[in-house]
Homo-oligomer: A and B are copies of this chain.
Amino acid sequence: MATLDDIAKELGVSKGTVSKALNGARDVSRKMQQTVLEKAVELGYSRVSPVREAPRMALFILNMDYAGPQDFGYDLVMGFRQVAEPAGFRVDIIPLDLETQLGIRYDAYMMREHYCGGVFLGMSLVDPWLKEFETCITPTVLYDNHVSCNPNVTSIGVDIEEGLQLAIRYLTSLGHNRIGYLSSALESYVYRRRYEAFIQVMESMGLPCDESVMGNSFLINNCISEHLPRLLENGCTAIVCSHDMLAHSVMLYCFEQGIRIPEDVSVLGHDDILLCRYTAPPLATIRQNRSALGKSAFFALMSHQNGVPLSSHLLHAELVQRGSCGSAPKEPRVFHLRQQ
């Protein structure tokens, strides 16, 4: 294992400078500190944690609100804290911006801030640090993202295929056999995986599944205007959506067009956001148990500490049955929507 001497020698600076830089002393420049941190990471230097403090974990949040119980990220954060803090860890919640990611490498950041592990909620495929997860040395947990072949990184999430199995079995039990799928753009890891899993489950159950009953667009409005009329005209009596907000928009469109839910068309979302209970009718959905997900992020980090590096750690999916799904109509209505 590399020592302070090794780092000093490689950089041609004194051991004192290295020590000060690693400890964030004020008389070492920000630039020198970063140079030292990145060299320390490169050489595999391992900091001896000061015993006086609780070990620290970082929970990074991006593209997600978490301030109150109505926000998607709230239960994720609470679930994590509920198990990490009683176990003796200090948890810092860090809204992560682009500037931070561009300013310092991930491992160097984690060493500078004395974090023993990091969890990422809501990372997008264009975030600069995502590429670094392929080689990072810090124990790291990614929610709804996946990086292969780095033993230090674990993926957590809900079993996507199982969720769609539960949903499609439920819809077929209600008599639906023409089931459509609408999705946000497939550049997101989770939307792509849900889209692919829908196809896979439909095919495994011998149900028809092709472009005539599927569609995806970046914006919800485009998804509705460009794809939904086609799905309805092609005889879909049930529509599964990649997320609840999209499912809600499907319901609004149907309301405007005089299409009854669930008598004419059943609608089912993903996630179980708070809104689902308050739509008319309430929205059936494939639930993400966010409190359990937050807890599982901590268990995944602890598994690293116990010498059992996990690749993926998936929760069981839960189907929430609500009024937006009902029996398939005996004689499906024929829609002519494009002309309207």
Contacts and interface: CB of A to CB of B under 8 A. Distances in A.
A261 to B, nearest CB: 26
A135 to B, nearest CB: 14
6 contacts: A148-B165, A149-B166, A159-B312, A162-B311, A296-B310, A299-B306
A307 interface: yes
A9 interface: no
A306 B295 contact: yes
Indicate the member of A149, A161, A311, A315 with the most B CB atoms within 10 Å: A311
A318 B148 CA distance: 12
Interface string A149-169: 101000000110110011001
A337 interface: no
Contacts of A306: 83, 295, 299
Interface residues of A, number: 29
Contacts of A162: 148-149, 311
A318 B150 CA distance: 10
A316 B151 contact: yes
A281 interface: no
A333 B303 CA distance: 47
**Chain A's interface: helix, strand, loop or mixed, by majority?**
mixed
Contacts of A158: 311
Given A149-B162, A161-B148, A311 B317 contact: yes
A90 interface: no
Contacts of A308: 292, 295-296, 299, 315
Given A149-B165, A299-B306, 19 more contacts: A83-B306, A148-B161, A148-B162, A148-B165, A149-B166, A159-B312, A162-B311, A292-B309, A296-B308, A299-B299, A299-B303, A299-B308, A309-B315, A309-B316, A310-B315, A310-B316, A311-B314, A311-B317, A312-B314
A114 interface: no
A75 to B, nearest CB: 13
Given A161-B148, A299-B303, A313 B310 contact: yes
Nearest to A307: B292
A102 B312 CA distance: 34
Contacts of A165: 148-149
Contacts of A169: 149
Contacts of A318: 151
Interface string A277-321: 000000000000000100110010001001111111111111000
Nearest to A311: B159
Nearest to A169: B149
Interface in A29-72: none
A299 B311 CA distance: 14
Contacts of A314: 310-313
Sorted from nearest, which 8 A-B pairs have the closest CB atoms? Answer: A159-B311, A151-B316, A292-B308, A311-B316, A311-B314, A309-B316, A312-B314, A295-B308
A306 B149 CA distance: 29
Nearest to A303: B299
Nearest to A83: B306
Nearest to A309: B316
Contacts of A299: 299, 303, 306, 308
